[in-house]
Structure 1
Amino acid sequence: MGDARGTGGEGGAAALDPLLIRTLQEVGAAATTVYLLRPGEEVLWLAVASRHLAEVLQPWGRVALTTPTPGTDAVVGNELIWVNGQEELARRYPRVALTLPYRFALAAAPITAGERRWGALVVLWSSHPPRLTRRERARIGEACTHIAELLQRAEESGRPIVPGAHPHQLPEPEARSAGPAEAIAAVDFAERLPQGAFALDVVGRMMFVNGTAAELLGRPRAELLGRMPWEALPWLDDPIYEDRYRAAVFSQQPVTFTARRPPDRLLEFELYPDSRGMSVCVTPTTSGGGEPIPDDGAAGGPSRVGAIYQLMHLAVTLAEAASVRDVFDLIAEQIGPAFGAQGLVLLLTEGSRLRIVGQRGYDPGALDVLDVTSPQAPTTPSQYVLVNGVPAFFSSPEPLERIYPGITRITGKSAWAYLPLKVSGRPVGCCILSYTEPHFFPEEERTLLTSLAGLLAQALDRARHFDAKQELAHSLQESLLPTVLPTVDGLEVAARYVPATTGLDIGGDFYDLIPLDATTSAAVIGDVQGHNVTAAALMGQVRTAVHAFAAAGAPPGRVLAHTNRLLTDLGRDLFTSCLYVHLDLKTRTACLASAGHPAPLLRRARGRVDTLEIEPGLLLGIEPDVEYPTVEVSLPPDAVLTLYTDGLVETSDTDLDDSIAHLAGALAEARYDSIEELADILLGDRRRAGPLGDDIALLLLNVR
């Protein structure tokens, strides 16, 4: 069943088996998984899993590094992540806790070699004291080192270990073999027990059933052996019972539940798991034993709890997808592979037409037939299902060819699921999953895909609104910031605006360059409080006011004072920091005034950097009558005056003064041929410090 491809030694990922088994034994853990990065991808693939976890972890078969999980955090942060139980898991990783609601502790550690990131090793315990011991940390670290070495050797040999569509299942240590006489004695022992007893293998199939159990379950042994309990016994076909089974599998702890065998007989099931399977005792009872008993008929549908957990996982994941691109990537990376599909097309309604917004597994030209107009007059299956609102499943080419001749030849596929996407009766689009070979869609899968279509429709509807807001934000931002700064003889200028990585992509950071006469210009930079349309609109008003007062010939302190008076008169509840610079290109001097703005930096020709100490006045918009002191500095040849907003220096874990000193150091050490290149160097240095928590505006001025 293993499918981690590449060979790196005999058997590909199986080469890791001895090392992983030894690690489990040394740290006393119940299970392990190995996630690997494929070359060129920022996605962790489940490459190896303990056999009893392979199915349970199916929704987590591929995890983008941007998804918060213990494994991804271990890889990104290059550190061991310890989670001591379900409560901590729910607090730190709620999405993981929602889809794996079981008792366990885990450690996730990065598999690295030098600068190379290979993936993560995850080790799980059914229970564990609150802290890892030094010995356990050391053993896990040693295991990661050895795994990295093995992966490196495999790659250098030309036979890399690459994760495949399904994880390699870690074999269990060999069980003690019983001789014929001992085996017969064991069967006789089980048959003499007053209670029912049966054994499940690692995937849940009944491999032994004693006579009492067969009688209590109401089926001959021949109808039970080789089948899962919820398949052989309709009254156990309920998610709540399979969930109890999964809880025992994942936690490796005993679990008890009570079920009603129709019409009214209560049976208590006691599950005793280990890594090789499960022993189950079943006895008659007169109470629910503390476990809820489903109402009669509650199980009646075909749903499997595994499918429900998968749907829960996808629901949570879809809730985190912001843009239409995010939703499509999620479908392509998780949903398509989860259903074994080789092709995917996502179409959205756009006015009177269906437009393809993403596809995988097709030649681009093959999809022209799907990018169509007028869904009100169906000419393709995607239009038909959208008009009728009912999914269509084609298990083989023939039925579709009879309705839409030629479509199978054009698309090159042999089975399809067409899922209409509607929200409150309003069409949003259509999702098409396709298969290169005929594919039978059982009722359970059709039910799950139909439910999934509803989740996709809601996610896409939210994503379209998000994209529309983003487009509005970009348009507003571009209209309020100068598209091109004016050219001024004798002055070299570089400007950058970078939005924060979180929140609505619009803010109040601004900059401007204002020619005043043949030898003087003004430069201004500022930051309006907030990240919303109101902040952006106020930023536009500040820019306009500064322009007007500067053009009227007011000195720097008066420009800020007049602008401040205007803002207080407007009665806005947002405040603004601002730095105004009057440049005299003839005398090579700058006169500066500040309204609570970070101090500018001056880089001299030989690399020395000075922080220009300006007495900052009050932020604009707080008090109406405020004076703003000015300071005059000389600008030596090839000096660069650096104006910036606080997003360039603020990080969550560094003191502001230290951050400004770091910026000064980066400015001093920079080697560049133009200040455009210098601007990119400074922004690159900030990005390496961590995610942006605020917008950045940067304005560099060089008086030649």
Structure 2
Amino acid sequence: MSGHGERPDGDRLLDETLADIVRRTGASAGAVYLWDEAAGVLGLVVICGVPLEVAWPWRRVPLSAPVPVCDAVREDRLVWVGSQEEMVRAYPRAAASLPYRIALAAAPLPGGCRGALLLMWPADRPLGADHPVGATPRQQGNISSAARRVARVLADSAVPPAVPEQPRLVAVGSAPRAPNGPSPQAAADYVERLPEGALGLDLQGRITFVSDSAATLLGSDAARLLGTRPWLSLPWLDDSVVEEQYRAAVISRDPVAFTAVRPPDTWLEFQLYPDASGISVRISRAPATDPGRPESGSVPRPVGVPTPGGMPTRSAGSAPAGSRETGRLYQLVHLAAALTETVAVRDVVELIADQVLPAFGADGLVLSAAEAGRLKITGYHGYDRETIDRLDGLPLDTRVTPAGKALDDGIPSFFASPGEMARRYPRAPQISGKQAWAFLPLVVSGRPVGCCILSYDRPRSFSADERAVLTSLAGLIAQALDRARLYDATRDLAHGLQQALLPHSLPALPGLETAARYLPASRGMDIGGDFYDLIRIDAGTVAAVIGDVQGHNVPAAALMGQVRTAIHATAGAPPDQVLARTNRVLADLETDLLVSCLYAHIDLVRREAVLASAGHPPPLLHRPDRPPSVVRLDPGPLLGVDPGVSYPLTPLSLPPGTTLAFYTDGLVEAPGSDPEHAAEALARELARYGGQELEPLLDILLRHARPSAHYTDDIALLLLRTGAAPEAGRGPGPERP
């Protein structure tokens, strides 16, 4: 159990509930995640069944991360992954850092508890099933029932649930043993009579039992081994293969085996048998005629060579020069996979702050980019704003910090204490107050990109292993940062173009209320070709337009501006003619992009509208005292398909108090949903809140369509509501841009 002091009753009950769920479902491990509102991430609260080091890369994950628990919470659904192959296809990042035969389920917590229950099983026996293809409806019901049980515990807690700084680790426990079994002394005597050695490990890898014969084979004293991890207390077992085999056993619950040489030349075979309470290890001398034994301890034995016990084995080499921490390597694999998914510079900064800093125990981060001979800070964590202002914009040849020199010569710099830093850079410790630093130059193909600085609040030495891993990580960060800066530059250009082309405000007309909203996608380029417009024709006539240009890039935003201009130039003509002329303009532009568009000519005096659609979703309609509906249109082809097509007209009456909602497909299209059903549900919401002002109504419709605020596509939404008819006078004619 991590942490100190007495746990609150709610925490204790949650821990006991999770352990009981793991036992009842036959899972090998379980965890509970909760939403951390302040940090904006899902935080790991409690875990059981696996070492905390295994879950460390997943301690805090952004809701947008492509991992099962995030999908479960974001999409409010049970996520089931039945095999390692399915994990690779659906969640490659998770598969890279958990390369084991497991099945898992992530279930959202109901009842207002934003979080998830995560359960894992050995892949060949999830939930007691004979195959890992999928969970049956009954099994899915059991998992959902377990999630409801966790939610009830959280809801009944006297203290509101919170995400702790360090996740709690609880023991799964085991079922009571049958009565009249052998006494502990009889069991110990039985073990001691066996020629093989017997070793017991808990799920954290610590030795809980060691027989005399095992201690003899290991060449150590039993009392010195108890409570330690074998790869730490026995230098000749300090090999990544050893820890990896332990991790494979504890996570997959599969028996595994390996051989290792005890200096100078004694080969031992280790067979690991895991269950929910720990791992039993059988130690014996490797057969002298073992065909897989290498001639030298430095050559690893191939994976898959059968042993007398029938398990595939792998050999550990002789003691390496220095500790090779498998957990650190898994963190590197996990971080490498995560960095490939970052898009913008802010994503890179958030990933480093959320995952790199905890992985290496760092307290502060400064990420600088090389721009025009200066170090421009693009992100930071763990520093106050005043310090960042003093460090921002320093020249590359600065003597204030080692950042410029590290970037100039491409060699990382590590400083274990302020004294070590002050000998070469006297001003640096005074500026930040930090006690240790790692300056990692970010270089891509020999070109300096920037510098990543990790800092610590206490003095810290950097082992050779840490330096090697951090140096490798710097190369991955450099590539991610370079891609992100290019993306940001392109996005800013397109976004600026798009915002310049969208209307800054809607014209005010008597007898018509209006409101509009444009939302970029929450992931991706953040720009696109969605557009809307309201064009005043005269005092009693207006044209409402909404459309969507194919693509999310600069050409899409540019074409959107050209389409808007073409529509403005012909506004006031019948809707079918407006679309037909705009269609011919697109043909003259010879663009490969297609455009959907809905044009409505609205007569506020006669209270009627005429609509024409070029492949665009139909608007939502709510008239007073009548059921809401989706307007039935006969749409023509998309603009840009055929310059000679015609567009059917649809008349529509608009009595006072009528609300029309024009939207782009991002509002109703989502993976696994039917756009028509989504539009009908939105129409019902439109009627339900028909008495609201239009601005609040915009928010209501958007929240209903996208409750998680996760937009996979741009959304444009234009609301119109008719009031009292204006006087019948006509103005001078249509406005022009």
Taking structure 2 as the reference length, the TM-score comes to 0.82
Q: Is the 8 A contact 1:86 1:102 kept in 2?
A: yes
Aligned to 1:309: 330
Q: What is the deviation of 1:663?
A: 3.2
**Alignment partner for residue 355 of structure 1, among 376, 381, 397?**
376
Aligned to 1:34: 32
Aligned to 1:700: 719
- The 5 A counterparts of 1:198-237 are 198-205=199-206, 219=219, 221=221, 225=225, 228-231=229-232, 236-237=237-238
Aligned to 2:679: 660
Distance in 1, matches of 2:140 and 2:376, equals 52
Q: What is the deviation of 1:312?
A: 0.5
Aligned to 1:250: 251
Q: Is the 8 A contact 2:436 2:458 kept in 1?
A: yes
Distance in 1, matches of 2:18 and 2:630, equals 55
Moved more, 288-297 or 640-649: 288-297
Q: Is the 8 A contact 1:8 1:159 kept in 2?
A: no
Moved more, 407-416 or 126-135: 126-135
Distance in 1, matches of 2:108 and 2:663, equals 37
Q: What is the deviation of 1:243?
A: 1.5
Aligned residues: 693
Per-residue CA deviations over 1:603-624 (Å, capped at 9, x if unaligned) read 4455665655554333322233
Q: What is the deviation of 1:558?
A: 2.5
Distance in 1, matches of 2:183 and 2:541, equals 100
Q: Is the 8 A contact 2:260 2:316 kept in 1?
A: no
Distance in 2, matches of 1:689 and 1:408, equals 43
Aligned to 1:525: 546
Distance in 2, matches of 1:17 and 1:490, equals 61
Aligned to 1:458: 479
**Alignment partner for residue 69 of structure 1, among 59, 64, 67?**
67
The secondary structure found in structure 2 opposite 1:101 is coil
Alpha-carbon distance change, 152 to 668 in structure 1, aligned in 2, over 3 angstroms: closer
The secondary structure found in structure 1 opposite 2:54 is coil
Distance in 1, matches of 2:161 and 2:273, equals 39
Distance in 2, matches of 1:414 and 1:448, equals 21
Per-residue CA deviations over 1:294-322 (Å, capped at 9, x if unaligned) read 79789556432211111001111111121
Per-residue CA deviations over 1:263-290 (Å, capped at 9, x if unaligned) read 8876543222342343132322422225
Q: Which runs of 5+ in 1 are unaligned?
A: none
Alpha-carbon distance change, 374 to 85 in structure 1, aligned in 2, over 3 angstroms: same
Distance in 1, matches of 2:6 and 2:222, equals 41
Q: Residue 189 in 1 paired to residue 196 in 2?
A: no
Alpha-carbon distance change, 60 to 304 in structure 1, aligned in 2, over 3 angstroms: same
Letter in 2 for 1:7: R
Q: What is the deviation of 1:651?
A: 4.0
Q: Is the 8 A contact 1:523 1:583 kept in 2?
A: yes
Aligned to 1:283: 285
Moved more, 417-426 or 284-293: 284-293
Aligned to 2:101: 103
Q: Is the 8 A contact 1:266 1:287 kept in 2?
A: no
Alpha-carbon distance change, 420 to 572 in structure 1, aligned in 2, over 3 angstroms: closer
- The 5 A counterparts of 1:675-694 are 675-688=694-707, 691-694=710-713
Per-residue CA deviations over 1:194-226 (Å, capped at 9, x if unaligned) read x55555454435566667767766x55589835
Alpha-carbon distance change, 297 to 697 in structure 1, aligned in 2, over 3 angstroms: same
**Alignment partner for residue 114 of structure 2, among 111, 114, 117?**
117
Letter in 1 for 2:470: L
Per-residue CA deviations over 1:165-194 (Å, capped at 9, x if unaligned) read 24334264599999896477356424xx1x
Alpha-carbon distance change, 439 to 178 in structure 1, aligned in 2, over 3 angstroms: farther
Q: Residue 419 in 1 paired to residue 440 in 2?
A: yes
Aligned to 2:596: 577
Q: Residue 561 in 1 paired to residue 580 in 2?
A: yes
Aligned to 2:732: none
Q: What is the deviation of 1:239?
A: 2.6
Per-residue CA deviations over 1:632-678 (Å, capped at 9, x if unaligned) read 55543444444333333334444444333333323323245644444
Distance in 1, matches of 2:481 and 2:385, equals 23
Alpha-carbon distance change, 511 to 280 in structure 1, aligned in 2, over 3 angstroms: same
Distance in 2, matches of 1:604 and 1:17, equals 54
Distance in 2, matches of 1:601 and 1:141, equals 36
Q: Is the 8 A contact 1:43 1:64 kept in 2?
A: yes
Distance in 1, matches of 2:669 and 2:247, equals 46
Alpha-carbon distance change, 293 to 590 in structure 1, aligned in 2, over 3 angstroms: closer
Q: What is the deviation of 1:418?
A: 2.4
Distance in 2, matches of 1:160 and 1:133, equals 32
Q: What is the deviation of 1:249?
A: 2.0
Aligned to 2:361: 340
The secondary structure found in structure 1 opposite 2:106 is strand
Distance in 1, matches of 2:651 and 2:139, equals 62
Moved more, 292-301 or 595-604: 292-301
Letter in 2 for 1:334: Q
Alpha-carbon distance change, 21 to 573 in structure 1, aligned in 2, over 3 angstroms: closer
Distance in 2, matches of 1:661 and 1:126, equals 41
Q: What is the deviation of 1:32?
A: 2.9
Alpha-carbon distance change, 511 to 293 in structure 1, aligned in 2, over 3 angstroms: same
Q: What is the deviation of 1:471?
A: 0.8
- The 5 A counterparts of 1:257-272 are 257-259=258-260, 267-272=268-273
Alpha-carbon distance change, 678 to 389 in structure 1, aligned in 2, over 3 angstroms: same
Q: What is the deviation of 1:473?
A: 1.9
What is the identity percentage for the equivalent residue pairs of Structure 1 and Structure 2? 49
Aligned to 2:668: 649
The secondary structure found in structure 1 opposite 2:718 is strand
Moved more, 324-333 or 129-138: 129-138
Superposed CA RMSD in Å reads 3.8
Alpha-carbon distance change, 186 to 629 in structure 1, aligned in 2, over 3 angstroms: closer
Aligned to 1:619: 638
Letter in 2 for 1:72: C
The secondary structure found in structure 2 opposite 1:421 is strand
Q: Is the 8 A contact 1:493 1:675 kept in 2?
A: yes
Distance in 1, matches of 2:544 and 2:60, equals 50
The secondary structure found in structure 2 opposite 1:320 is coil
Q: Residue 87 in 1 paired to residue 85 in 2?
A: yes
Moved more, 429-438 or 327-336: 429-438
Taking structure 1 as the reference length, the TM-score comes to 0.86
The secondary structure found in structure 2 opposite 1:56 is helix
Moved more, 297-306 or 383-392: 297-306
Q: Is the 8 A contact 2:210 2:222 kept in 1?
A: no
Alpha-carbon distance change, 608 to 31 in structure 1, aligned in 2, over 3 angstroms: closer
Distance in 1, matches of 2:519 and 2:92, equals 31
- The 5 A counterparts of 1:388-467 are 388-467=409-488
Q: Is the 8 A contact 1:4 1:164 kept in 2?
A: no
Distance in 1, matches of 2:586 and 2:594, equals 9
Letter in 2 for 1:3: G
Distance in 1, matches of 2:437 and 2:645, equals 70
Alpha-carbon distance change, 166 to 248 in structure 1, aligned in 2, over 3 angstroms: same
Distance in 2, matches of 1:268 and 1:342, equals 42
Q: Is the 8 A contact 1:385 1:420 kept in 2?
A: yes
